[in-house]
Structure 1
Amino acid sequence: MTLCVIPARGGSKRIPRKNIRPFLGRPMIAWSIAAAQEAGVFDRIVVSTDDPEIADCARAEGAEVPFVRAAELSDDTTPTVPVIADAIAQVSVPPDTPVCCLYATAPFVTAAALKDGLSLLNDEHARSVVSVTSYPFPIQRALSRDDDGRIAMVDPGLMQTRSQDLPERWHDAGQFYWASAGVWASGGGMFDTGAHGLVLPRHRVQDIDTEEDWQRAEFMMQALQAAEG
């Protein structure tokens, strides 16, 4: 048994109706559902939502919506882990079941990456697997900027250090996380000891929280589609 849970609440604020807004002609959530289906590793693809319109859209794309997410798990401050733990409890799977949390706003996710995440979880006996990508510029040379526009190095001691001499750093790609049902239910974090990072190329990672992000993501996807023929 392998479970995919796609959390998709209805009350997104910065981009209203983000989870089902058309992204290059398809509801945003449809991209994630399609990647999960193509991966061929999931026995069930379940959408956790409090919103009837999102539920209808998810079902139309071939996902299950077997329950309505409770209101207390549907506000904009609710963390991801309790939402996934609730879904696991609702569908009742054994603690050793591999469970993937796949975000509804991850149009760049690929079936191959989802499969690689499951392989990494199993082969490395990882506590969790997090999709990550590298920063495009060394974060050690970050600048601060005050309200008057004045800038300063966060770490002035690195002023003369060449970029290529600084170690690479990574960040959460915001696409998916793998862990066993038991780990999700324990309430721990995905970055606790034993977590592994599955590296994604930067051209397949884009956070989508603002209108500018959305437009950039569509440009990126159009370029990818053109390159891939």
Structure 2
Amino acid sequence: MNLALIPARGGSKRIPRKNIRAFAGKPIIGYSIEAARECGLFDRIVVSTDDEEIAEVARSFGADIPFLRPKQLADDHTGTSDVVKHAIEWFATQGTPISHACCIYATAPFLQPSFLQEGYEKLVATGKSYAFAVTSFAFPVQRAIRLRPDGTVEPLYPEHVFTRSQDLEETYHDAGQFLWGRSDAFLNGTVAFSPASVPVILPRHLVQDIDTPEDWTRAELMFRAWRQLAETL
């Protein structure tokens, strides 16, 4: 069975009630649920939450809430892999083994069904443990600077101060949208940021991490501009 697992705890600190806050007109978690439904790959779409209000909103978009997440897995230090592992183990106790699971983030309004399909196809074709969404850094990370205690700056990588941008290796980061994985990889704690994974490369204009109020504002502006452009094409 293929499982879509959307972690959505209720105790978000930096953006209160983030997972069900209205984003461009509807609860943000709704976009993730809809993308999961539209891709047609999942036997079950489950939202793992400790919060009854989030559960109610998730059900209204067609997600299942077969259990409420234990409190020990709903604090600020719980990783998403632990949440996916808990769900896989729960289904096993119900006599429903999971072959592949996809952790889909609740705050991913730019997620497209085609991205999920590409991730699954790459996971199956390569035999790797994971496939997840990445995008390229907009600026060479080798040119990063740090702020010194005295108020001045210094290069993070002094060896690249005079290296031409076109000679620097392109680098990528997690797009914060989804992580496909084989159930045994989640259960065994296989590390995703490793050669055990293959990337699904997304365009930068469809990626925005949403952790702070500033991130939220930027994401909504990007989203509205993208939708408006799509309607004119």
Whether these two folds match at TM > 0.5 is yes
| Aligned counterpart, 1:56 | 56
Contact 1:81 1:189 in 2 (8 A): no
SS in 2 for 1:9: coil
Matches within 5 A, 1:74-223: 74-92=74-92, 93-94=96-97, 97-223=99-225
Q: In structure 2, what is the Cα distance between the partners aligned to 1:155 and 1:189?
A: 26
Offset of residue 146 of structure 1:
1.9
Cα gap change, 1:143 to 1:108, in 2 (>3 Å): same
Q: In structure 2, what is the Cα distance between the partners aligned to 1:192 and 1:168?
A: 17
Contact 1:129 1:196 in 2 (8 A): yes
SS in 2 for 1:206: coil
Cα gap change, 1:158 to 1:192, in 2 (>3 Å): closer
Q: In structure 2, what is the Cα distance between the partners aligned to 1:24 and 1:86?
A: 32
Identity of aligned residues (%): 50
Contact 1:127 1:193 in 2 (8 A): no
Contact 1:98 1:178 in 2 (8 A): yes
Contact 2:91 2:97 in 1 (8 A): no
Q: List alignment gaps of at least 5 residues for structure 2.
A: none
TM-score (norm 2): 0.95
Paired residues in the alignment total 228
Q: List alignment gaps of at least 5 residues for structure 1.
A: none
Offset of residue 94 of structure 1:
2.7
TM-score (norm 1): 0.97
1:72 lines up with 2:72 in the alignment: yes
Offset of residue 149 of structure 1:
2.7
SS in 2 for 1:219: helix
SS in 2 for 1:108: coil
Offset of residue 186 of structure 1:
1.2
Q: In structure 1, what is the Cα distance between the partners aligned to 2:159 and 2:215?
A: 33
Contact 1:144 1:151 in 2 (8 A): yes
SS in 2 for 1:66: coil
1:33 lines up with 2:43 in the alignment: no
